[in-house]
Amino acid sequence: MACGSQWRRRGHAEAGLPRIRPHRNEPRQPICLRHTCALPDSRTGRPGGLAHLQPDLHPGHCPHPERPHRIPPTQRLHRPPHRRPAQGMTEIRHRIERAGRHELTITSAFPAGTDHIQLPIWRPGRYEQGDFGQYIRGMVQRTDTGWQPLSKVGLHRWQTVEPSESVEVRFQFTAAQLNAGSTWADEALLYVNPVNCLPYHDDLADIPVHIHLPDIPHDWYIATALPHMGDSEDGVHLMAKGTQELMDSPWMAAPADALWHGQYEVAGHPFHIHVWGQRHYDDDAFLEAHRKFTESQMATFGWLPVPQYHFLYLFPDFQARHGVEHEASTVIAWGPADQLTHSDGQPSAGLEEVIDIASHELVHTWNVKRLRPAEWMPYDFSQASPSRLGYVAEGVTTYLGDLFLLEAGVIEMEGWLRRFEKLLTRHLWNPGRLQTSVADSSVDTWLDGYKLGVPHRRGNIYVEGAVLAFLCDVALNRAGGGWLMDALAELVGPDQSRALTEERWWSTLERRAAKRSPEGAVEIRQLRADFCEGTEDTWPELVDAMMHQGIEATLEPHADPLARCGALCGQGREGRTEVKVCWPDSPAWEAGLRRGDVVDQVETERNQLHVEWQRDSVHATTSQWMLPEGAGHFARPRLGMFPG
């Protein structure tokens, strides 16, 4: 089996390529097989589900194929011994064919005893229910008498027939979303995120999975982190070690002239850049930016948890802004592509954003893919998996992603300040941060974390988590405990447990902050109480922390007097001015304004504001109140370096 770079042209021979073994510091995680309890099969008399397979007890995987010693207890996550499936259960097979624009025909084969199949209800990197079953139709199973429709026994689960025999199912999948986390198929591109569209069975999590793509033309390339089994006359073949790797390993295939590939190497590890879409920027400068931030991150963490890494870019001609992390790759979608340019050697705002996302996603290789909340070890795709550590998974990653760009020289201090200003604006303009803690907001991503939601109900784990990360970073440094990236590097080490708990995270920060004096640990505990578990206003603490870093922070009153009074407006339907956020207990709030109301006219007379607006966008209303003193609401943070 050839497992080199997954930059493959159809039809090229791959014989003789060396087999890349797992990195010496990359343990193989034991995944416990859970056997279903079901009534005996009426035809065979054997137990239902997979219980009749009589699996052998297996003490655990080895870190290397040639090294027989068992993995250390810290890597086992306190799970029961792994159970090896019975003989004859060799692999699961998925055959994926394009069936017209935005349509896929998927045929999946499972071992005997598979009493049901199901689709994941969520995907890694998006902590909400995805409901991918809504894109499936025509689920049938092959029987002796032909294809038989299957009955649903849940929103994402189908009951099979004759499970004592090998199970082969077929269905149609609508692949019409081109973003970083979905699946797309047309005549020019096949982009598949397996967690959207491939069924699985919990008890078969460790069974190898064979992917067959029969209709990939010979002049197409395929980009993926999955091992490539070689090409043949019947198409492309990929292989995953099991369900966890499969669901976290997307691929894209396109004509050779439409899929650009670049490569660089850091510390002996290949890093691949694959780009689908028009490129209006300097390829060399784009690759060099990746190399720089990769070197910075590798220098901090000291190792890479995977043998090689792949950046998969989708640059369509339409609007797209999205990035998703995966075990050994990331997918980043950004459009329109013609806004990604270089001018006088400098990247456009759009290209800067792409580089920001790329740095963020690479940090995830250590923070989320290597070290992740214990609730996600391993991923349970059958149900929601909320965690109170979303602010670490996403907030710390957001903060460090930009910081690595600064350390690598990809951006200057002015660029970092501009990014942090933008982050602080989103933070300060969200009244929800004062209502729900960032720890509770981490849980609530499963309710409304990725949609507009109630504007003043909760915080944003990316933004509020990044602000908390900055405060912890400064507190650690002030106490002589190093930096936050040093603490994370300690936790993601190759000999450390991969499961993260709240206690482990905060005790690590406290211990490092207490190296010089116990007061450092006290400050960390106070930050946790006030801004992680609590909802205190961060601005006074932010001003102090930034001053310690030589940064002057001020608040500039909003230019719109209505915003200063608590009603932040923007363009709404039919070009009307609509209230987007109304700050609770502000003058505008007390006057009755809420999100969605239409503002017709605003006049200022001396220190009073006169507003004509439409309640619920239809009922004409007039209100008048005094302008607030000081900066008021929705003030803009301004950052600059102190002289010297």
pLDDT, position 398:
98
Write the DSSP symbol of residue 100: S
The listed CATH number (3.20.20.150, 1.10.390.10, 3.40.50.2000, 2.120.10.80) that belongs to domain 261-552: 1.10.390.10
Mean pLDDT, 10 residues at a time, over the chain (644 residues)?
46 36 37 31 39 33 35 36 46 96 97 95 93 96 94 95 90 97 96 98 95 94 92 89 97 97 98 97 98 98 98 97 97 98 95 98 98 96 96 98 98 98 98 97 92 88 98 97 98 97 98 96 98 98 97 97 97 94 97 96 94 96 94 97 84
561-636 is classed in which CATH architecture?
Answer: Roll (2.30)
Q: Do domains 261-552 and 561-636 have the same CATH topology?
A: no
Rounded-to-integer distance, Cα 309 and Cα 394, Å: 20
What would you report as the CA-atom Rg of the chain, rounded to the nearest whole angstrom?
A: 27
User: How high is the pLDDT of residue 88?
Assistant: 54
Residue 568's pLDDT is what?
Answer: 97
Residue 136: enclosing H or E segment and its boundaries? strand 136-143
pLDDT at residue 70, as a whole number? 36
Instruction: Return the pLDDT at 230.
Output: 75
- The pLDDT score that the predictor gives to residue 7 is 52
Beta strands per DSSP E along 250-391:
251-255, 259-266, 269-277, 309-315, 320-325, 329-335, 342-343, 346-347, 372-373
Cβ burial of 280 (10 Å; 0-12, 13-18, 19+) is: middle
User: What is the value of pTM for the model shown?
Assistant: 0.86
Tell me the two tokens of residue 265. Answer: 């190497």
Q: Write out the E strands in 250-316.
A: 251-255, 259-266, 269-277, 309-315
What gap in Å lies between CA 422 and CA 418, rounded to an integer?
6
CB 641 within 8 A of CB 565: no
List the domain boundaries for the chain.
261-552, 561-636
- pLDDT for the residue 197: 97
pLDDT, residue 644, reads: 65
Per-residue pLDDT at 163: 82
